[in-house]
Structure 1
Amino acid sequence: MTSRYTTSKALLEALQEADVSFIFSNLGSDHPAIIEALAEAEKEGIDFPKIITCPHEMVALSAAHGYAQVSGKPQAVLVHVECGTQNLGAAIHNAWKGRVPVLIFAGTSPYTQEGELRGSRNEFIHWIQDVPDQPGIVRGYMKYTHEIRTGKNVKQIVHRALQIAQSSPKGPVYLTSAREVLEEEVEKVEIHPEQWRPIAARALAPQEIDPLVKDLLAANNPLIVTSYIGKNKQAVKELVQFCEKLAIPVLESVPNYMNFPSDHPLHCGYQWNTSTQNDLIEKADFIMVIDSDVPWIPVNNKPSPNCTIYYIDEDPLKEGMTLWYIPSKRFFAADAETALRQLNEVIKNADIDSLQVNERRKQIEKYHKAQREEWKKAEQFFDDIITPEYLTACIREVCDENTIIVNEGISNFQTLYTHLQMTKPGSIFGSGGGGLGWNGGAAIGAKLADPSKTVISLTGDGSYLFSVPSSVHWISQKYDAPFLTVIYNNRGWKSPKLSTLAVHPNGIANETNQFFVDFTPHADLSKIAEAAGGAYARKVENPHELKEALNEAIKTVKSGRSAVLDVYLPAISQENQMREEKNHSTV
């Protein structure tokens, strides 16, 4: 059979040239030309990105997301027309809000119906899946959308899309093409990938640096707030150097990475949906916010009116958020590592009040130590109950420098960061968004990106179910990507309950303990993974068994088999009763 050089083959070549290793795919009737090109490549020994068959698109995009976070390299996701695009679901939101580069390709229904071109409509579904504006489904979440109309420039389009995806602020891109175009025979085009590199990092304008440094050095109580500076390991290094020079405390607000070593004496904790005023924010007379979308929640927790604020971010205007503002003196569109390098160079020779800095350092170190002592007290178990704090402390004990944590704890988000106390850049990742179900696919992507790592996924029972665990664990087994899942199982959705109590603390829902979030009857969640992917499955209800179960699960994962521990925390339906009993015993 004579080989044909088609648009599909050129598309796959372009992905290979761009250093894409995997195509996380859910194939459909729009992909015959791609399937044919892949089959021919396998037969002829041609190197194309490896196909990872994903029985659910949410898992596919979450896996590409996790891979990109660990490796720094964007991967491709291949889905079926508008139905597959819609099935990407919340993963699209996560990639957009998490600033993660990924290329999504979807076919479209053929545009001929009487055999005028190869690939013309020949299945009833081609009429049913023909929609007016397929890219409109995702346009609000993409940096770039484009329809490939010919194979003659498909390589240029793919490289341009990936250049946009990788340029700050990074994000997903979406390409489409009809079957007839994918089947088109074309002449081969040579591309030089080095001509399609991402846009260079942006720096602070030189004239803006001196006023910032002047305000900083005049401050008595400066503070750094960050959320995702840790996406760049070198930026963390620069931040540590900057803070050590001037004894500036660091607060992590809704972190998605390890942004500052938790054991560093200048690290002063984490915050999420805190309902109280953070004393460091309240006391600060200078705050530099670096890479943080939500540095504080003003209704409960905000700086004083006299505090001088500077804001540094790749996207300081937040044009994708319709309501967003903070009272900053100046906003800078700059790369965190580059900006901190500039600032470190300036303060190296600045006139610094060393007595003031040394006194501040002593106070911060005292604060840090007292804070850690309080954290430690919360890690004890009592009355044969497994608390989230105790569970997280036990997980911390089985982690080492070769561990990657995938965190989708949601209602236990702050607890996880507080009691894991990560110290190494690249050791923990969050989705960056609010689309639940990211954890399973992300763990697969993380493991594929660095097979030498031990990957641990931490999730609530709700987000575990959202992750499509049957597909996740089938993929994990098929592609030799074992990881440990620990389910923080409170048998319900706790976050809606917390949201209700925050608005109606003395309402009828609280009085009757009816929040409509109870998962009764309770499912045996770990058995899903066992049935779908042969995972080690175990339910843990006794705190005395917890450490042994974690060690056994880690041992299993390191031997090449995934494991799921379904750990029973106090049920949300019992919390009101437990609180009353505790209050009664105290009285």
Structure 2
Amino acid sequence: MNGAQALIRTLVDAGVDVCFANPGTSEMHFVAALDDVPDMRAVLTLFEGVATGAADGYARMAGRPAATLLHLGPGMANGLANLHNARRGRTPLVNVVGDHARSHKRLDAPLESDIDAVAGTVSGWVRRSLAPEDVAADAADAVAAAAAGTIATLVLPADVSWSEGADVAVPVPARPAPRVAPPVVDDVAAVLASGEPAVLFLGGDAMTAEGQLAAARVTAGTGARLMSETFPARAARGAGMPELTRLPYPPEMAIAALAGTKHLVLAGAQAPVHFFGYPDVPGHPVPEGCTVHVLSAPGEDAVAALQALAERAAPDADPVLLEAERPELPSGELTPRSMAAVVGALLPERAIVVDEALTSGVGLAELTSGAPPHDWLSLTGGAIGDGLPMALGAAVACPDRPVLGIQADGSAMYTISALWSYAREQLDITTIVCDNGSYAILQHELERVGAASDGERAGQLLDLGGPDLDFVALATGMGVPATRATTAEELADQLQKALAEPGPHLIDAVLRR
């Protein structure tokens, strides 16, 4: 068999049976080999950033990697922002990038670039297959590397792909996450027993239901506060879960949230830092005099560490859990808060919420906290344009669960072509576009960095008007049924109908300017 056939068969045997693709000439033998390995599901996207973001969303929900197929260095560059988000979320992902045939590289063809160097900026593992006999083993190693929570990029020269002489490789057994040593648990238990103000700060796999419930036992028995990363990759939420405060995004609010803390205990998370530096503001919200303790580092088994800590520090404590509660359906003007109330009132059980609402997300966490159990996916790396692709990947991973995307208007335009893939695959995704006609988050940042300006030219770079974006037309033009809501009542009616019908839908929620 040729290299492409061996690669795909090895990926499938290793559990990677979905590939989000935007291929080109150098990947055509991979494309042809899909007919020889029907167990690999290939999902076409119209932009590489959709492919990489979809692979991110898929892996977050499936718990195992998807593959991407990208065309040379420029194709990978188009997908780089969402590879960045995947890296920040420790998403397992196998990134296959085609390259020129080995004999052609020395000619410096127009699409020639240093793929390996660019891949290294977002990948924890990079390898170039140098012969067809190597491809399958390289693919097995890539899956094993990705399973540890990283992006594994395999560069596949075109002639290695088309050449015969390859064979399928045996998958590399996955290694379980390392356990935290008992003395570490004992040390943290002693810190929490001191009675000094403490915060148990969660991230990574600590945000699963099991991790949060164990953490809530700890806080119930020790008096520590429970808090999480601002943008966790995946969080279990809803009735029956503990109340979990996210560290706020604005620096002044994050600093206030941790004020007075003497001990910050990290479980699956890194010590928090602000997204940006600001004049006369410290780079992180951890107060002076606060000691940071690592219960489990990212990549270690945070759930087991929290369960061990609960047994050690709070053996008889019962976690305080949220009761089932929904807001009343609002009426009147459509604002970010009334939009959040509609979502909280109607959110289906077992829904997957993909949150890229940004500034329009005010009230979403609060008003959905008592909704039926659901999962929440966040923008981990801050590179906007991940929401629509992540919803695509999540829906492919979980076809029996409704997906609800809450999507800011400006960032939607980065990867709007994801809607075409929704329609082509007939995925059960409902998208609410938070249409406020501006890059509102940048208006806030303009003031926060001390560069506030009332000038017309500065304002034009933050305003999405002139012409206004028509999301109904954009969606219907790509095969997704779409409606427009201008009041809370209209949004509620349209969301109920969209959730009741299979397939994709988009609602353009026109918010108060």
| TM-score, with length taken from structure 2 | 0.88
Give 3-state SS (helix, strand or coil) of 2:25's partner: coil
Check whether the contact 2:247–2:254 (CA below 8 A) recurs between aligned residues: no
* Structure 1 segment 383-462 matched on structure 2, within 5 A: 384-413=332-361, 415-421=363-369, 427-462=375-410
Give 3-state SS (helix, strand or coil) of 2:484's partner: strand
The answer to whether residue 299 in structure 2 is matched with residue 310 in structure 1 is no
CA displacement at 1:511 relative to structure 2: 11
Partner of 1:16: 12
CA displacement at 1:69 relative to structure 2: 0.6
| TM-score, with length taken from structure 1 | 0.78
* Structure 1 segment 121-160 matched on structure 2, within 5 A: 127-131=109-113, 133-160=114-141
Check whether the contact 1:263–1:423 (CA below 8 A) recurs between aligned residues: no
Q: Quick check: which has more Rg, 1 or 2?
A: 1
Check whether the contact 2:11–2:143 (CA below 8 A) recurs between aligned residues: no
Partner of 1:346: 312
Check whether the contact 1:258–1:424 (CA below 8 A) recurs between aligned residues: no
Going by fraction, where is helix more abundant, 1 or 2? 1
CA displacement at 1:162 relative to structure 2: 1.2
The answer to whether residue 72 in structure 2 is matched with residue 72 in structure 1 is no
The answer to whether residue 267 in structure 2 is matched with residue 290 in structure 1 is yes
Distance 1:272 1:292, change over 3 A: farther
The letter of the residue matching 1:336 is: A
* Structure 1 segment 484-523 matched on structure 2, within 5 A: 484-504=430-450, 507-509=452-454, 514=459, 516-521=461-466, 522-523=468-469
The letter of the residue matching 1:335 is: D
Partner of 1:320: none
Check whether the contact 2:202–2:269 (CA below 8 A) recurs between aligned residues: yes
Distance 1:380 1:292, change over 3 A: farther
Name the CA distance, whole Å, in 2 between partners of 1:261 and 1:296. Answer: 27
The letter of the residue matching 1:241 is: R
Distance 1:251 1:262, change over 3 A: farther
Check whether the contact 1:226–1:259 (CA below 8 A) recurs between aligned residues: no
Give 3-state SS (helix, strand or coil) of 1:514's partner: helix
The answer to whether residue 227 in structure 2 is matched with residue 246 in structure 1 is no
The letter of the residue matching 2:491 is: L
1:202 to 178, 185, 189: 178
Partner of 1:538: 483
Distance 1:302 1:92, change over 3 A: closer
1:166-205 alpha-carbon deviations (Å, 9 max, x no partner): 11xx1211111222111221153451x2xx2333222223
Name the CA distance, whole Å, in 1 between partners of 2:109 and 2:2. Answer: 25
Distance 1:301 1:130, change over 3 A: closer
2:24 to 28, 44, 47: 28
Distance 1:180 1:511, change over 3 A: closer
Name the CA distance, whole Å, in 2 between partners of 1:391 and 1:346. Answer: 43
Partner of 1:175: 154
CA displacement at 1:276 relative to structure 2: 3.6
Check whether the contact 2:84–2:383 (CA below 8 A) recurs between aligned residues: yes
RMSD across aligned positions (CA):
3.3
Number of residues of Structure 1 aligned to a counterpart in Structure 2:
505
Check whether the contact 1:151–1:186 (CA below 8 A) recurs between aligned residues: yes
* Structure 1 segment 249-398 matched on structure 2, within 5 A: 249-256=225-232, 257-258=234-235, 267-268=244-245, 270-276=247-253, 281-293=258-270, 295=272, 297=274, 299=282, 302-315=285-298, 334-347=300-313, 384-398=332-346
CA displacement at 1:498 relative to structure 2: 0.5
CA displacement at 1:405 relative to structure 2: 0.3
Check whether the contact 1:457–1:485 (CA below 8 A) recurs between aligned residues: yes
Name the CA distance, whole Å, in 1 between partners of 2:460 and 2:271. Answer: 27
Partner of 1:322: none
Name the CA distance, whole Å, in 2 between partners of 1:491 and 1:451. Answer: 32
Sequence identity, in percent? 19
Partner of 1:50: 41
The letter of the residue matching 1:239 is: A
Check whether the contact 1:94–1:434 (CA below 8 A) recurs between aligned residues: yes
The letter of the residue matching 1:91 is: N
The answer to whether residue 180 in structure 2 is matched with residue 188 in structure 1 is no
CA displacement at 1:87 relative to structure 2: 1.6
Q: Which stretches in structure 1 are left out of the alignment for 5+ residues?
A: 114-119, 316-332, 572-587
CA displacement at 1:251 relative to structure 2: 2.2
Name the CA distance, whole Å, in 2 between partners of 1:231 and 1:70. Answer: 13
Partner of 2:95: 104
Check whether the contact 2:137–2:169 (CA below 8 A) recurs between aligned residues: no
The letter of the residue matching 1:127 is: A
Check whether the contact 1:443–1:483 (CA below 8 A) recurs between aligned residues: yes
Check whether the contact 1:538–1:565 (CA below 8 A) recurs between aligned residues: yes
The letter of the residue matching 1:164 is: A
CA displacement at 1:345 relative to structure 2: 3.0
Partner of 1:568: 510
1:223-253 alpha-carbon deviations (Å, 9 max, x no partner): 2223444554432332233333334331234
1:107-153 alpha-carbon deviations (Å, 9 max, x no partner): 1112336xxxxxx99xx9x821123x222122111011111011213
The answer to whether residue 3 in structure 2 is matched with residue 7 in structure 1 is yes
Name the CA distance, whole Å, in 2 between partners of 1:150 and 1:211. Answer: 51
Give 3-state SS (helix, strand or coil) of 2:348's partner: coil
Give 3-state SS (helix, strand or coil) of 2:383's partner: coil
Partner of 1:161: 142
Partner of 1:583: none
Name the CA distance, whole Å, in 2 between partners of 1:494 and 1:289. Answer: 32
